[in-house]
Amino acid sequence: MSVQVVAAKMAEVELQDVPSKESPAESPVTPNSEDKKLVKTEPHEVGSSATTPTAEPSVKAGDPSPGLLTPNPAKMPQASAMRRPDQQQNGGDAFVNRDGTVAEAPRMKKIQFADQKQEFNKRPSKIGRRSLSRSISQSSTDSYSSAASYTDSSDDETSPRDKQQKNSKGNGDFCIKNIKQADFGRREIEIAEQEMPALMALRKRAQGEKPLAGAKVVGCTHITAQTAVLMETLSALGAQCRWAACNIYSTQNEVAAALAEGGFSVFAWKGESEDDFWWCIDRCVNLEGWQPNMILDDGGDLTHWIYKKYPNMFKKIKGIVEESVTGVHRLYQLSKAGKLCVPAMNVNDSVTKQKFDNLYCCRESILDGLKRTTDVMFGGKQVVVCGYGEVGKGCCAALKAMGSIVYVTEIDPICALQACMDGFRLVKLNEVIRQVDIVITCTGNKNVVVREYLDRMKNGCIVCNMGHSNTEIDVASLRTPELTWERVRSQVDHVIWPDGKRIVLLAEGRLLNLSCSTVPTFVLSITATTQALALIELYNAPEGRYKQDVYLLPKKMDEYVASLHLPTFDAHLTELSDEQAKYLGLNKNGPFKPNYYRY
């Protein structure tokens, strides 16, 4: 249903961008034979994408690697659109000036992209699809002090693309900020390993059989210490990896250095330009004598790039593993259009990952975020939580445990009844707005807290958002002349009314859990393990198990992710006896639940 909803939204977008509809329509979609379609489509794709780059090199001066296919600047504005919306216009214009007709299609595609991302950011938390990965992507722009590199990139003005670096083994097939930071990065990775026991256990368990032997994985994710643990695990299981960053800000330079030193071909640094971004992805994919056979993607940019530039590569690719809501949505769109030519695995919607990204993570970060920013004491405070989905449930549980008096607002009667049965008063926001000390939004909706409510809040009321980017609180309405904004510390603004009333606005209405708190490694470990298992599953699946479609992680794998994390808690799982397994009609090793089970 959500997909329908999204589709409906997409339809609007596509109406605006008629040309974008036409260019995909070029590729003949005759679903009578999937295999033929694959072959058929490709020439068209090649044709359209090939024409664009041919026009490029002349325009693109100063490209350091003329031997490589130059990234199509048409894609750059995509990057800018998702990262810095303000630059979108410039990028778009510049592009139109350069390319005439040929580029029309890609450009429109780009606009659609920006919209898609926007679209997608919008409702996930409501539909239960809100993903931390998406949110983390945002964090780098959302947060002033995001979890990026310690070593600031500003200490060296040369672009990594212009530098020639080699690791201690003489290998130069990477491009990072500074290889000399490798030692420091190694320490970061070792710390992360401590908190990612699941991946370490996976290494040990699967090291003997090397389930990924022969796998050539090209990846595009955030490059952090946690990702490094994942990459080294994949490598330990037999895979070759080439990696790029899925976000221009989030790379930890020293970790990238440590990986490069360890022999991984990493192309990423903190503070890439949009051009750098696509150049890095291209360097990952486009290499003499090396063709990837697996894709690990976060956001769908890498997949998109290969589709546009190297469609032939899909002949060898066994599968795509996609982590983010956005990327998954793009895959479903592809699949719907009949253009997905390899199996893809949607790891975002796996049970374990969903629970950890939303319920468990937010249950802790709400307290952490509020404490770090305001040092508020929770006992006896009146708090209203807007929305009782997974995030709302987590927030309410944490606050209740601290002794707060919690009110809930909801639109869905089933969730509302759950709130009632959990002991929370269900109210409308305007019934309690005058008396509450804290307002927390986690609806995924927009304009949940509007100016009218803000006007009626009491002095000192704290307003923050746990739900979704920055639409839930109507912050724009506070930018009026009669109100004074006072920044009291990082991420904390006092908004002062003419009568002296103050409202404490956190993170300017952006996500509190990303701006003012950190994501525990344990949560990232769940995601990384899920990705690793999805890769193993796709790579080792017998021919024909997965068709050209988007799949959910098999429940058994989902259960395996959970079981790998149990030792952290010294938890001892009970095993079914043969007799019991027979009685229940289950396999002793799972899966233990039917697919519709709600947990």
- Binding to a second copy (CB under 8 A) within 342-381 occurs at 351-352, 354-355, 360
Q: Is 50 near a second copy (CB under 8 A)?
A: no
Stretch that binds a second copy, among 23-31, 330-338, 367-375, 406-414 (CB under 8 A): 406-414
338 contacts: CB under 8 Å, gap ≥ 6: 29, 31, 37
CA distance 249 to 139: 9
Beta carbon nearer to a second copy, 102 or 576? 576
Please give the residues from 8 up to 47 whose contact with a second copy meets the rule CB under 8 A.
8-9
Q: Is 585 near a second copy (CB under 8 A)?
A: yes
Query: Which of 120, 72, 68, 135 is closest to 98 using CA atoms?
Result: 72
Q: Is 428 near a second copy (CB under 8 A)?
A: yes
Q: Strand, helix or coil at 297?
A: strand
Beta carbon nearer to a second copy, 75 or 353? 353
What does DSSP assign to residue 446?
A: S
Minimal distance, residue 545 CB to a second copy, in Å: 9
Beta carbon nearer to a second copy, 496 or 552? 552
587 contacts: CB under 8 Å, gap ≥ 6: 581
Question: 3-state DSSP helix/strand/coil percent for the chain, to nearest 5?
Answer: 50, 10, 35
Beta carbon nearer to a second copy, 489 or 572? 572
Which pair of structure tokens corresponds to residue 48? 């359209």
Minimal distance, residue 332 CB to a second copy, in Å: 13
CA angle 291, 295, 301 (to 5 degrees): 110
Residue of 1, 15, 18, 61 that binds a second copy (CB under 8 A): 1
Q: Is 395 near a second copy (CB under 8 A)?
A: no
Please give the residues from 545 up to 584 whose contact with a second copy meets the rule CB under 8 A.
551-552, 554-555, 558-560, 562-563, 565-566, 568-577, 579-580, 582-584
Q: Is 429 near a second copy (CB under 8 A)?
A: yes
Query: Which of 296, 277, 292 is closest to 219 using CA atoms?
Result: 296
Q: Is 520 near a second copy (CB under 8 A)?
A: no
Stretch that binds a second copy, among 147-155, 291-299, 376-384, 586-594 (CB under 8 A): 586-594
Residue of 15, 375, 421, 542 that binds a second copy (CB under 8 A): 421
Please give the residues from 102 up to 161 whose contact with a second copy meets the rule CB under 8 A.
122-123, 126-128
Stretch that binds a second copy, among 56-64, 106-114, 281-289, 427-435 (CB under 8 A): 427-435
Query: Which of 411, 526, 412, 389 is closest to 466 using CA atoms?
Result: 389
CA distance 364 to 372: 12
- The 58-97 site mask, x for binding a second copy (CB under 8 A), equals ----------------------------------------
Q: Is 476 near a second copy (CB under 8 A)?
A: no
Stretch that binds a second copy, among 49-57, 186-194, 308-316, 418-426 (CB under 8 A): 418-426
C-alpha of 504 from chain center: 29
Contact present, 406 and 355 (Cβ < 8 Å): no
Q: Is 410 near a second copy (CB under 8 A)?
A: yes
CA angle 132, 226, 515 (to 5 degrees): 40
Beta carbon nearer to a second copy, 134 or 186? 134
CA distance 496 to 415: 35
Beta carbon nearer to a second copy, 119 or 322? 119
Helix (H) or strand (E) holding 552: strand 550-552
How many residues interact with a second copy (rule CB under 8 A)? Answer: 82
CA distance 101 to 55: 11
Minimal distance, residue 572 CB to a second copy, in Å: 5
- The 299-338 site mask, x for binding a second copy (CB under 8 A), equals ----------------------------------------
What count of Cα atoms within 13 Å lies in the side-chain half-sphere of residue 228?
A: 31
Q: Is 543 near a second copy (CB under 8 A)?
A: no
Q: Is 54 near a second copy (CB under 8 A)?
A: no
Distances (CA, A) of 286 to 269, 282, 346, 410, 475: 19, 6, 25, 50, 44
Contact present, 277 and 185 (Cβ < 8 Å): no
Minimal distance, residue 205 CB to a second copy, in Å: 14
Burial class (CB in 10 A: 0-12, 13-18, 19+), 53: middle
Beta carbon nearer to a second copy, 167 or 471? 471
- Per the rule left: phi > 0, alpha: psi between -120 and 50, beta: everything else, 242 is beta
Residue of 102, 376, 416, 483 that binds a second copy (CB under 8 A): 416
Please give the residues from 437 up to 456 whose contact with a second copy meets the rule CB under 8 A.
444-448
